[in-house]
């Protein structure tokens, strides 16, 4: 189990580059470093949580289009700001919502939980194995030379982001492309993950209070994954 001071030091080094805030001054990232987790495969509780998220999404959508939801629309605008086409590379929230009709994936307990929280609270949410980080997380506009550990046609490949693309990275390369679109293989959560980093993304009209409520809900479900689960959180914002 990690020393809580190490979790705090890890988050203390995290930062968002000024060039990203120049795109969206309203952007906020709530980071949660969580330790003491016993992850494991999908179980009855995580399956039930995903089912509840599916039901809530259907009710929230009703007859309206997914891109009419306020936070989905805000993220589409954010993608356009750095040159991405949101109809081709959708933010993680929209990608999940578009899978609700056929059923959200069940992957493992950790992934199931953060996917469900993303849908229930309608915000992009990512989870990564903190022990796989090299250095601290930072959100930057890419040079285009950073390596991205991906998979294509079932094969491991190294890709590179486009110049100016918004990416999360550490000292070893990109950990998530296009703000919250696709995660690197290197830091993916596994069934044996014990220490994780969760990133909850917000734009207006989502408030800081709503962002923290989503994080609180995430922690409620993570705490059932071990008797000694503990977490440190930090909000990154322009002001």
pLDDT digits (tens, 9 = 90+) for 54-110: 999 999 999 899 999 999 999 999 999 999 999 899 999 999 999 999 999 999 999
| Distance (Å, whole) CA 26 – CA 81 | 13
| Distance (Å, whole) CA 110 – CA 83 | 32
- Residue 158 is encoded by which pair of tokens? 């190294």
pTM of the predicted model over 0.85: yes
Asked if residue 2 has pLDDT above 80, the reply is: no
Q: Percent of the chain having pLDDT more than 70?
A: 99
H or E segment at 77?
Answer: helix 70-81
pLDDT of residue 151: 84
| Distance (Å, whole) CA 23 – CA 80 | 10
Q: Measuring CA to CA, which residue among 75, 137, 121, 139 is closest to residue 219? A: 121
pLDDT of residue 4: 80
H or E segment at 208?
Answer: helix 208-222
- Residue 166 is encoded by which pair of tokens? 């918004």
The 3 state secondary structure assigned to 92-145 is: HHHHHHCCCCCCCCCCCHHHHHHHHHHHHHCCCEEEEEHHHCCCCCEEEECCCC
The per-residue b/e assignment along 130-150, b for 16 or more CB within 10 angstroms, e otherwise, is bebbeeebbbbbbeeebebbb
Asked if residue 153 has pLDDT above 90, the reply is: no
With beta carbons less than 8 A apart as the criterion, state whether 92 and 181 touch. Answer: yes
Furthest CA-CA distance within the chain: 49
Considering the four listed CATH numbers 3.50.40.10, 1.20.1050.10, 3.20.20.330, 3.20.20.70, the one that applies to the domain covering 4-237 is 3.50.40.10
Kindly indicate the confidence band of residue 154, based on its pLDDT and cuts at 50, 70 and 90.
confident
| Distance (Å, whole) CA 183 – CA 166 | 13
Asked if residue 1 has pLDDT above 80, the reply is: no
DSSP 64: S
- The mean pLDDT of the chain is 96
Q: Measuring CA to CA, which residue among 180, 40, 189 is closest to residue 129? A: 189
């Amino acid at each position: 189990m990690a020393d809580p001071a190490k979790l705090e030091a890890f988050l203390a080094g995290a930062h968002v580059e000024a060039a990203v805030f120049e795109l969206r001054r309203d952007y906020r990232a709530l980071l949660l470093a969580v330790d003491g987790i016993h992850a494991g495969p999908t179980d009855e509780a995580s399956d039930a949580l995903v089912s509840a998220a599916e039901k809530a999404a259907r009710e929230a959508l009703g007859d309206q289009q997914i891109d009419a939801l306020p936070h989905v629309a805000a993220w589409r605008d954010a993608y356009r700001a750095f040159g991405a086409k949101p109809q081709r590379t959708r933010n993680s929230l929209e990608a999940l919502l578009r899978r609700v009709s056929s059923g959200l994936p069940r992957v493992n307990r950790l992934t199931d939980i953060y996917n469900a929280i993303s849908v229930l609270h309608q915000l992009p949410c990512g989870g990564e194995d903190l022990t796989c980080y090299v250095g601290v997380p930072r959100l930057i506009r890419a040079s285009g030379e950073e390596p991205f550990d991906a998979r294509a046609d079932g094969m491991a490949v190294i890709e590179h982001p486009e110049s100016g693309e918004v990416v999360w990275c550490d000292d070893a390369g990109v950990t998530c492309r296009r703000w919250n679109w696709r995660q690197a293989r290197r830091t993916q959560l596994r069934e044996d993950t014990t220490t994780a980093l969760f990133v909850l993304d917000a734009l207006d009209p989502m408030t800081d209070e709503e962002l923290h409520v989503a994080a609180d809900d995430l922690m409620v479900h993570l705490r059932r994954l071990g008797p000694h689960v503990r977490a440190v959180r930090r909000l990154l914002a322009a002001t």
